[in-house]
Chain A
C-alpha cells in the first residue's frame, strides 16, 4: 500500500499557495504510506541553457558550503539553495557532466532530479515530518506529484522512496507492485539506463522514460507498459507542463480525481482532497482502468 497525491493549478493566482494546499493532501495519505515520502514540484522553467539539480546527502552534517566552493571552482558559478540535507543547484553545467563530477568528487551526494522545471524532495519518515523538514508548505509552482510509501518489496531508504525520475523534467510515483522488475531492469540496462535503487518502481519510471525518449507519446508508451509490466499499478506522472494518471486494467489500486475551474487534484483516496477549496462542488470521479488521463498547465 502507498499513497499518491497530485495537484495541478489552473488558476495561476493559486501558484503561491501550491505547498499550502498540498501538505494536507500528503498528510492525509499517512496511513497508506508512513515509511517515507516525497514530492516533485514543477515551476516555471529556468533559461534554456540552465538546469536545476535537486541533490540529497544522508550525512547529517554534510558541508554544503564546501561542496558549493568546489563546484564553483571546478564547474561554474551556480546558484545553491541549501536546506538541511537537501540542495537545489541552478547551473549552466551540462547535467551529464555535473552528475559525473558529483559521482567522482562527492559520491555521498545523490542527484534526485534534473531539469529546467522540476525540484524533487524525498526522505524517510512520516509525511508530516518530511513536509516539515523541507518546508513543503512554502513550495510554489504550477503542479506537483507526491507520494507516501509503505515499503513492500525493498528497504525503507531515501533511494527507494518516490518520486522516481529519469532524464529531465520527468517523474513518476507508484501505488502497487510489479512482479517483473528484474527483467525490466535487465532490458533497460542493456539499452544504457543506469539504475540507482532496488525499487520496482524505478524500472517503471525508466521504462516509460525510455519509450518517451524514443519519440512515443505517453499514451503509446503506457500502451506498451500494459503488456510489458506484470503487476499492479496506479501511476501518477509529471512532466514540465503535464500531469498524467493511469491505473492498471484490474484497477487494484485506488485513485480519485477532483476537478474544478481552479485546479485538478488527484489522490489515492478522497480523504486527502476533502480540505481543498471548493471541493464540495468539484467534479469528483474515479479514473477508469487502463485509461490514460492527463492535464496540462
Chain B
C-alpha cells in the first residue's frame, strides 16, 4: 500500500499513476503509525482526493484535483498544488485546505470550521451555506457566493460576482474589489476594529499582504429574519 517510505519514515508518497484513490484514502483513514506527511503524485484531476481526514497530518497533492478534494476535512492540512474541481473542502470541520491555483464552483460549501485558502479565483457559489468556516480567496469569486451563509468569515481579495451574500445569516464577508451585485438582504456596512482585526488575522494566516483598510464589510441586514407578509416577494 505504501509505495515509498522516506528516510524519516514519517513521509509517505502515493503515486496515482500506479495506485488508486481508494488505496490513498484508506491509508489516510487508517492507523497512520506516526506518518505526518503524505505526498500525492500525479493526481491528474481525480475525484475525492484526501476526503474525510480526521488526523493532524499534512497532505500535499502535487497537481490538479477533481471534484470534492479534501471534503469533510477534520484536523488535517491539505495543500492542492494546482487547481481544484467543484466542492473543494466541502463541509470541512476543522484544519486547513489550500489551493494554489483556482477552485471551481462550491468551494468550501457548508464548511463548519477550518480555513480554506484559494490563491487564485474561486468559481460560483463559493462558501454557499457556510456554517462557521473561514475562507480566504486571493482572486475573485463567482456569482451567488456565500448564499445563505450562516456563520464564518470570507475574505475576498478580488472582485465578487452577482448576488453576493444573498439571504445571509450571520456570516460576514470582506471584499477588496468590486461587487457586481449584492444578493437580497446583504448590505455593505462600516468596518469596525474587530473587522480590521479579522481581515488582518485571515490574510496573515494566508500570507497575503493587503491592508485591511482596502476591504469593505458585507453582512446581513436581517430583514429576512422574520416573515413580512406585506413584502410580496419584493425582497
Measured CB to CB, the residues of A under 8 A from B are 249-251, 254, 256, 269-275, 280, 284-286, 288-289
Would A254 and B85 count as touching, CB distance under 8 A?
yes
Query: Which chain B residue shows the least CB distance to A274?
Result: B44
* Chain B residues positioned under 8 Å from A288 (CB to CB): 142
Complex contact B105–A270 (CB within 8 A):
no
Q: List 26 A-B contacts (CB under 8 A).
A: A250-B124, A251-B124, A251-B142, A254-B105, A269-B45, A269-B85, A270-B44, A270-B45, A270-B64, A270-B83, A270-B85, A271-B44, A271-B46, A271-B47, A271-B66, A273-B45, A274-B45, A274-B64, A275-B44, A284-B64, A284-B101, A285-B102, A286-B83, A286-B123, A288-B142, A289-B142
- Among B67, B85, B105, the residue within 8 A (CB) of A251 is B105
Q: Which residues of A contact B83 (CB under 8 A)?
A: 256, 270, 284, 286
- What residues of B have a CB within 8 angstroms of the CB of A256 in the complex? 83, 104
> Of all chain B residues, which has the CB nearest A31?
B47
- Is B220 engaged at the interface, CB distance under 8 Å to the other chain? no
Chain A residues with Cβ under 8 A from B124's Cβ?
Answer: 250-251, 289
Of residues B42, B47, B64, which shows the largest number of chain A Cβ atoms within 10 Å of its Cβ?
B64
Q: Which of B50-101 contact A (CB under 8 A)?
A: 63-64, 66-67, 83, 85-86, 101
B24 CB to nearest chain A CB (Å): 15
Which chain A residues lie closer than 8 Å to B64 at the CB level? 270, 274, 284
Taking beta carbons and an 8 Å cutoff, which residues of B are in contact with A? 42, 44-47, 63-64, 66-67, 83, 85-86, 101-102, 104-105, 123-124, 142-144
How many A-B contacts if CB must be within 8 Å? 51
CA gap between A114 and B153 in the complex, in Å = 55
Residues in chain B near residue A269, CB distance under 8 A: 45, 66-67, 85
CA distance A285 to B121 in the complex (A): 10
Residues of A within 8 A of B47 (CB): 271
Chain A residues within 8 Å of B142, by CB: 251, 288-289
Task: Give A176 Cβ to nearest chain B Cβ, in Å.
Answer: 14
Q: Contact at A270–B143, with CB atoms within 8 Å?
A: no
Residue of B nearest to A247 (CB): B124
CA distance A275 to B64 in the complex (A): 12
Report if A271-B104 is in contact (Cβ < 8 Å); known contacts: A254-B85, A286-B123: no
Chain B neighbourhood of A270, CB < 8 A: 44-45, 64, 66, 83, 85
How distant is the Cα of A254 from the Cα of B87 in the complex, in angstroms?
12
Contact residues in B for A250 (Cβ distance below 8 Å)? 124, 143-144
User: Complex: how many Å from CA A272 to CA B123?
Assistant: 20
Q: Taking the nearest CB of chain A, how far is it from the CB of B52, in angstroms?
A: 20
- Determine the chain A residues whose CB is within 8 A of the CB of B105 once the complex forms: 251, 254
Bound-state CA distance A51–B42 (Å) is: 45
Most buried by B among A254, A269, A270, A271: A270
